[in-house]
């Protein structure tokens, strides 16, 4: 007689109708391939854990976003937000699609140059630009977005010293109906600082005021906030035209569109609550088109979208290290994926699914990482099937911020691969090794 397939015995408490924090026991569909490449082959070849990016998804989402804006507004330009994911192959993928570069440090600026972005297609944002950074940016005719008055005065001095006309914009913050209101970057609209800065720039006659910029926050679920912010920038543009007969060349609405990830504590999944690119585009372009900006001189609309363009294109593959029972009976599964490489697990309920067929019976489970730290929790509460040592999992939507904010802690940061349009897998960042870390260390002679 043929023996039956053995599945671990499971008992689950039924909570009539009311989904608890573990969610309804809906079935998990395994993800066994990414763009046609088997997860088990990716892990066999590149190790576990490994980040996998999809060129196809990047392209599809970019086209979707570009179309949403370009069908509503005549002149649209995206600038890739380097901090979101500055692995060169990722940046180049965006540059190939037509994106400029948006950087916030000398390091990111250097990367953009070395990725072949012409200086005049680099937007330099943020509060941290030192004198050398600014000299280089002025030399290269990059677009410098001024954050505060000290920076403004420094740029005026450098304009004198270099005999060049720096191309500048100011970053503006305002009450746009979204809370929390980000007021620590740029010049405030309501208290008059924004006008104060614009007047100083115009009266100095030494700078080329080319644009107006805002970035109202990140993971913004309310498109109306963008509409309000665009109205404020349009209002400033109209004022500049009226007062100085000066027409700005662009309005930069920054980044901040939500991705489909689910925020911790959210009642509904992000895929249900996240506005579409069309909704954001509608709010922004309506505000600009319906303003009294001279229709013959509509500024170019810049967008610095980060997370919404890359989150879906990244997956993190990993393996089960072991299982245990916690004191309260909850099942715990330990993965080789820790919060050191999945920074976003601090604010997202990431979708984690098995990479192979599993039992259809799931249990309330906590997914832990491998670090010796209590905070190393990938999912606090998830309905998960039982997994054996070595079974593989896929964490979805991890393309944004993880490959830049990851920490080297206890072990090495994993490899990153990119699957191209044709299904070919390319290593785009190697796994760290002991030398990549030790090469920066210096042991003083007396300890040798």
Ligand X SMILES: Cc1ncc(COP(=O)(O)O)c(C=O)c1O
Which residues are at the interface with ligand X (CB under 6 A)?
81, 84, 102, 125, 215, 218, 254-257, 304-308, 400
Among 105, 115, 252, 359, binds other proteins (CB under 8 A): 359
Q: How many residues does the chain have?
A: 448
Nearer to other proteins, 133 or 363 (CB): 363
Pairing of strands 352-354, 314-325: unpaired
Both tokens of 125, joined, read 């944002």
CA–CA separation, 330 and 383 (whole Å)? 11
Among 8, 21, 75, 96, binds other proteins (CB under 8 A): 8
Q: Which residues pair with 364 in a beta bridge?
A: 383
Nearer to ligand X, 215 or 413 (CB): 215
| Contact flag: residue 20 with other proteins (CB under 8 A) | no
Stretch 329-358: interaction string toward other proteins, x if CB under 8 A: x-----------------------------
From the list other proteins, ligand X, none, pick the one residue 329 interacts with, judged by a Cβ distance below 5 to 8 Å according to partner type. Answer: other proteins
- Classify each residue of 228-258 as buried b or exposed e, where b means 16 or more C-beta atoms within 10 Å of its C-beta: bbbbbbbbbbeebbeeeeebbbbbbbbbbbb
Q: Which stretch binds other proteins (CB under 8 A): 11-19, 226-234, 307-315, 375-383?
A: 11-19
| CB 1, min distance to other proteins, A | 8
Nearest alpha-carbon partner for 53 in 416, 400, 341, 421: 416
Both tokens of 337, joined, read 């994926």
Among 325, 374, 441, 445, binds other proteins (CB under 8 A): 325
Any idea which residue has 């925020």 for tokens? 263
| Contact flag: residue 3 with other proteins (CB under 8 A) | yes
Among 347, 361, 409, 412, binds other proteins (CB under 8 A): 361
DSSP-assigned letter for residue 303: E
Is the distance from CB of 425 to CB of 50 less than 8 angstroms? no
| CB 29, min distance to ligand X, A | 28
Label residue 390 exposed, middle or buried (CB < 10 Å: 0-12, 13-18, 19+). Answer: exposed
Query: At how many degrees (to 10) do helices 106-114 and 88-96 cross?
Result: 60
Nearer to ligand X, 82 or 368 (CB): 82
Both tokens of 429, joined, read 């960042």
| Contact flag: residue 10 with other proteins (CB under 8 A) | yes
| CB 216, min distance to ligand X, A | 10
| CB 274, min distance to ligand X, A | 12
Nearer to other proteins, 264 or 324 (CB): 324
Using CB under 8 A as the criterion, which residues of the chain lie in contact with other proteins when the complex forms?
A: 3-14, 16, 325, 328-329, 359, 361
């Amino acid at each position: 007689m043929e023996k039956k397939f053995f599945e671990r015995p499971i008992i689950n408490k039924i909570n009539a109708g009311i989904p608890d924090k573990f969610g309804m026991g809906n079935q998990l569909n395994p993800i066994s391939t990414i763009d046609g490449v088997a997860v088990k082959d990716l892990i066999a070849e590149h190790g576990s854990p490994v980040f996998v990016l999809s060129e196809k998804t990047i392209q599809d989402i970019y086209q979707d976003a570009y179309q949403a804006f370009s069908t509503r507004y005549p002149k649209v330009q995206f600038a890739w937000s380097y901090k979101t994911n500055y692995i060169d192959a990722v940046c180049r993928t965006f540059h190939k699609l037509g994106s400029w570069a948006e950087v916030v440090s000398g390091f990111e600026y250097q990367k953009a140059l070395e990725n072949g972005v012409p200086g005049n297609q680099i937007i330099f944002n943020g509060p941290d630009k030192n004198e050398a950074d600014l000299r280089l940016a002025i030399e290269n005719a990059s677009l410098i977005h001024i954050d505060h008055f000290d920076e403004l005065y420094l740029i005026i001095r450098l304009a004198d010293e270099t005999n060049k006309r720096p191309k500048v914009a100011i970053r503006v913050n305002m009450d746009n109906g979204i809370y929390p209101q980000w007021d620590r970057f740029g010049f405030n609209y309501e208290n008059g600082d924004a006008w104060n800065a614009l007047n100083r720039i115009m009266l100095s006659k030494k700078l080329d005021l080319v644009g107006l910029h805002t970035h109202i926050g990140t993971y913004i679920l309310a498109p109306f906030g963008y509409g309000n912010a665009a109205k404020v920038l349009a209002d400033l543009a109209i004022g500049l035209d009226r007062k100085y007969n000066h027409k700005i060349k662009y309005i930069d609405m920054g980044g901040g569109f939500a991705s489909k990830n689910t925020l911790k504590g959210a009642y509904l999944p992000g895929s249900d609550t996240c506005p579409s690119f069309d909704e954001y585009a509608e709010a922004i372009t309506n505000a600009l088109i319906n303003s009294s900006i001279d229709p013959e001189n509509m500024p170019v609309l810049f967008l610095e979208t980060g997370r919404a363009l890359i989150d879906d294109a990244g997956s993190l593959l990993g393996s089960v290290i072991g299982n245990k029972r916690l004191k309260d009976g909850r099942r715990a599964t330990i993965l080789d994926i820790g919060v050191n490489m999945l920074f976003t697990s601090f604010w997202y309920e990431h979708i984690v699914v098995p990479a192979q067929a599993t039992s259809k019976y799931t249990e309330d489970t906590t997914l832990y990482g491998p670090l010796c730290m209590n905070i190393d929790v990938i999912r606090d509460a998830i309905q998960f099937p039982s997994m054996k040592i070595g079974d593989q999992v896929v964490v979805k939507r991890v393309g944004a911020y993880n490959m830049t904010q990851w920490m080297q802690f206890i072990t090495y940061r994993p490899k990153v691969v990119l699957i191209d349009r044709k299904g070919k897998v390319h290593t785009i960042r190697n796994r760290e090794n002991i030398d990549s870390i030790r090469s920066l260390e210096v042991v003083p002679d007396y300890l040798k």
